[in-house]
Amino acid sequence: MTSAQQFAKTRLSALLSPAGVAIDGSAPYDLRVHDERAFSRILAAGSLGLGESFMDGWWSADRLDELAFRIFRAGLDRTAADPGRLVRKLAAWVLPRGRRARAFVVGERHYDSGNDLFAWMLDRRMIYSCAYWKDAATLEEAQERKLDLVCRKAGLKPGQVVLDIGCGWGGFARFAAERHGVEVTGVTVSKEQVGPARERVRGLPVEIRLQDYRELSGRFDAVVSLGMFEHVGPRHHRTFLRQARRCLADDGLLVLHTIGASETTGAPDPWIEKYIFPETHLPSLAQIARAAEGLFVVEDVHNFGAHYDRTLMAWEENVEAHREAVAERYGERFLRMWRFYLLSCAGSFRARHVQLYQLVLSPSGVRGGWDSVR
């Protein structure tokens, strides 16, 4: 080990100490370093260096989720070096996320990764958003509980027409049509999702479109958006809600389900931005409320972010069960990247660093008040 590497190791050890994490320690969440270049790489590039050096096999941990939990719980994400934060903040302002010209980027770079990957990872309905684990023992049950919860919050009744913004592989649309007798229009920006989604809803009163939300028209009894608002961007939050309001009947409800930040921030995590979700920004509750002013009455806010920890761990378990197939199809480095994504995010939700907000919004307020259906 060179003197520079020893210096970097000492600094990194001191940085991790408040989280109770050691280098080459015996705890399952300790970093086991396989390449000494990892020390300076992590110090120099923060979370980007941490993730990339893991992808390259320079370090490992038996419980990556617990490592992430301790890092976030100790607030090390705020104290670690991140030389590109200011640049990303400026870029987010000059070239804001959610621009119409970039509307299909997240579909192309994430959701179009491969339907087989998501089929291995998700439940049979291919629901790629936080499950609701109340009174549920399996991922299948928890996702069904979530879909049922959304339908009850939206007050769906037979014969209604429903808009699903960010419909994914059509899981919610099929559930709502079969269980509640509604017609559904679903839109997605992922070319790879359209075909399987249309096949999933074949024979049902459901239309699936490859379309940006800004191009929507028509009038609907209810609007639902599950896990799409994260890709809208703060400068377009109001645009999204204004469009949802235009499409919603005066007595209808919007159910908005989104990962959310605990604080209003101007820059996304650099590793997530580069490798997982480009053009993405987690909204704070304050940002959502400001964007809704004058457009909607906030009837209900339900935070079940702790449920995302269990959801992500279930997804990772499924990926692990198909490890050989994923590695053969996408390569070992991709497999390590995907595991880092799932497990580090699980740790962040476990630490309550990020949240899952499910809001019920009405155009003018439900007369007599909205009755909770949780």
Q: Which residues are catalytic?
A: 345
Q: Give the pLDDT of residue 280.
A: 83
Residue-level pLDDT at 349: 98
DSSP string, 341-369: HHHHHHHHHHTTSEEEEEEEEESS--TT-
pTM over cut 0.75 = yes
In the prediction, which pLDDT does 87 show? 38
Alpha carbon distance 305, 131 (integer Å): 10
pLDDT along the chain (374 residues), means of 10: 89 96 97 96 94 98 98 84 43 45 48 79 97 98 98 98 98 98 96 95 98 95 97 94 98 98 84 87 96 98 98 98 96 96 98 97 96 90
| Sequence-ordered alpha helix ranges (H) in the chain | 3-16, 38-55, 64-73, 76-79, 85-94, 105-106, 115-121, 139-154, 171-180, 191-200, 237-247, 270-275, 285-292, 306-321, 323-330, 332-350
What was the pLDDT predicted at 9? 94
Catalogue all structural domains in the chain, each as residue range(s) with its CATH number: 3-83 (no CATH), 103-362 (3.40.50.150)
What pLDDT was estimated at residue 238? 97
